[in-house]
A = this chain, B = another copy of it.
Amino acid sequence: MYNFEFKNPVKIIFGKGQISKLSKAIPSDRKIMLTYGGGSIFKNGVYDQVKKATEGLNIVEFGGIEPNPHYETLMKAVEIIKAEKIDYLLSVGGGSVLDGTKFIAAAVLYEGDDPWDILAKSGKVFVKKALPIGAVLTLPATGSEMNGNSVITRAETQEKLAFGSPAVMPNFSVLDPEVIFSLPDRQLANGIVDAFVHVMEQYLTYPVNSPIQDRFAEGILHTLIEEGPKVLADRTDYDAAANFMWSATMALNGLIGMGVPQDWATHMIGHELTAYHGIDHAQTLAIVLPGMMHVRRKEKQDKILQYGERIWGIKEGSVDERIDQTIQSTIKFFESVGIKTKLPDYSVSEETIGKITKRFETRGSRLGEKQDIGPDLVKEILEDRL
């Protein structure tokens, strides 16, 4: 196990009816911006619950934050916050609304010239302060409710970039599994695959003798495989919804990634597919991961075999046969929840592969747990998915 530092102070308020605890969680003397997305919260009753729980608080509303939240949209919120002296953000939505809210929280207090640098110079520019954030989660998927990560898209330049800071971790997140009851299949399936691949990015690398982390990761994968289809089949199965929701949070709150190598190349390549074609984030992961496993079968061999055996019960055959079976089992699971895994399924052709490869060439960044995936391998991975 590697040395590590871990701190996650987010308060999780979990369970049915917990939205009613909002008034206790938010300081009463704050001026609050309530951020939300496309308006599903008006249909599923969450908005009404939030309004009831925050009666008497001083709230300004800001809606219309897109899936893959746009920098351009978020900067409008930043202006309003500065003009109206707002000092607390309440995100009511899924991972996109929360990621967008995190960027707003950081941009308002950013002291540099251009808030875009928070994203464009991420890793060099470090976000030290941000407005406090509370969250009501309406879609289990990204884990954003219990971490300091945010992914933002600039529509103008088709760029999708990430930043992270402890300063944008929510003060609290309310996780009421009943929000799942009204989710459409596509969003739910996306959530299952998103959480699944979050685990894989921290698990499917190379062994460093970390049995606790491995078993926690495998525990989340097993739970997603068991409970995900239950929720898809019966949206009102509260237990399944709760188990799925807690899985998605645990998948990316930092814990299973402590002391172990992490990959994230599947995410980085997937972001480009979203940037160029607007493909749902989880769909891009379902496309890229099998290619990653195929092309990196040597480098990831030990962990792919462990994953195949412990998750899918694959024990027979040569190493290559077992790896092939394991990739097929993974693909079968993604397809079983309704997420296609090939580029042509999304009308993406070789032309896009060229553009993405070129972008990685220009950036000069290398990906993966050993930082040894350059543009050539990105091309190979994507070509495997044609």
Listed in ascending order, the chain A residues whose CB lies under 8 Å from chain B are 1-18, 172, 209-212, 215-216, 218-220, 222-223, 226-227, 239, 242-243, 246-247, 250, 255, 258-259
Query: Within the complex, what minimum Cβ distance (angstroms) separates A20 from chain B?
Result: 11
* Contact A215 B212, beta carbon cutoff 8 Å: no
Query: Within the complex, what minimum Cβ distance (angstroms) separates A128 from chain B?
Result: 16
A279 vs B244: C-alpha distance in the bound complex, in angstroms? 43
* Contact B1 A239, beta carbon cutoff 8 Å: yes
30 contacts between A and B (CB under 8 A): A1-B15, A3-B14, A3-B18, A4-B12, A5-B12, A5-B13, A6-B12, A6-B14, A7-B9, A7-B11, A7-B12, A9-B9, A12-B258, A14-B258, A14-B259, A209-B239, A211-B219, A211-B222, A212-B220, A212-B243, A212-B246, A212-B247, A212-B250, A215-B216, A215-B219, A215-B222, A215-B223, A216-B219, A219-B219, A242-B259
A266 vs B12: C-alpha distance in the bound complex, in angstroms? 29
* Contact A243 B7, beta carbon cutoff 8 Å: no
A250 vs B6: C-alpha distance in the bound complex, in angstroms? 12
Nearest B residue (CB) for A246: B212
A13: chain B residues at CB < 8 Å are 5
Query: Within the complex, what minimum Cβ distance (angstroms) separates A355 from chain B?
Result: 40
A246: chain B residues at CB < 8 Å are 1, 212, 259
Query: Within the complex, what minimum Cβ distance (angstroms) separates A206 from chain B?
Result: 15
A15 vs B4: C-alpha distance in the bound complex, in angstroms? 7
* Contact A243 B3, beta carbon cutoff 8 Å: no
A172: chain B residues at CB < 8 Å are 7
8 new A-B contacts, CB < 8 A, other than A4-B14, A211-B223, A242-B259, are: A1-B239, A4-B12, A7-B10, A15-B259, A212-B219, A212-B220, A216-B216, A219-B219
